[in-house]
Amino acid sequence: MPSPSDPAQKKKVAANDTEYKLADSDDETEDTVETRRSVKWAENELKRRWFINAGEQRSWDDKVRKGEIRPEVLEFRDKSDADPQASADSISQKEVDKKAALIKGAEEKAEAEAKKLADSKKTKEELAAEKLEKEDADARKAAVENGEKEDKKISDAAKVKKEGKPAEGSGDDGSAKKEADKKAEAPFCPPELAGMC
């Protein structure tokens, strides 16, 4: 296991390029699929539903009242691997989305292969020139973005200074300035007479 203080690992974490996605029935392991099928088989044989918790049961009851549960599930005839609480529309939409994602993935793969083939036909100089152009464009874009951020910081700082409010993120809540203003407004009272003035 890599050390958390390893610079390479810190760089990976700092990149913040981790992509999370919700798991669905396609991401299940074979054991999970078999367990789910066994539970569904038992529910169909015993004509009784099992719920993980009260929240799942409330959700089920609400969907039954609204008529969102498929009839074959309510009658314990469902043989599909789909979620029992899923409506027929959501199941068909999920299938359409999966097919579209597969087609899109195949197209992207074909584009990548075509680009790779085209790149393989280019000379090293052409590839190096393209790489330099891309790096230059990226650097220009980053410079413009950083310039905009810096301009915003400067304008915010000027605005804050003009209004007399503390800078954002400074940890100052402005109470010191308010105290100083109160002291400046109060008439002068020598320290020997403190409390009498």
The helix (run of H) or strand (run of E) holding residue 154 is helix 124-163
- Quick: pLDDT tens for 142-170: 999 988 888 888 888 887 777 766 555 55
CA distance 19 to 56: 28
Q: What is the pLDDT of residues 87-136, one digit of tens each?
A: 888 888 888 998 999 999 999 999 999 888 887 777 888 888 888 999 99
pLDDT in tens, 18-48: 676 766 667 778 888 888 889 889 999 999 9
Give the Cα separation of 66 and 11 in Å (integer). Answer: 50
Question: What is the spatial distance between Cα 175 and Cα 181, in angstroms, rounded to a whole number?
Answer: 10
Is pTM beyond 0.85? Reply is: no
Structure tokens at 25: 């029935």
- Kindly give the residue spans of alpha helices, DSSP state H, lying in 76-123: 88-121
Share of the chain above pLDDT 90, in %: 22
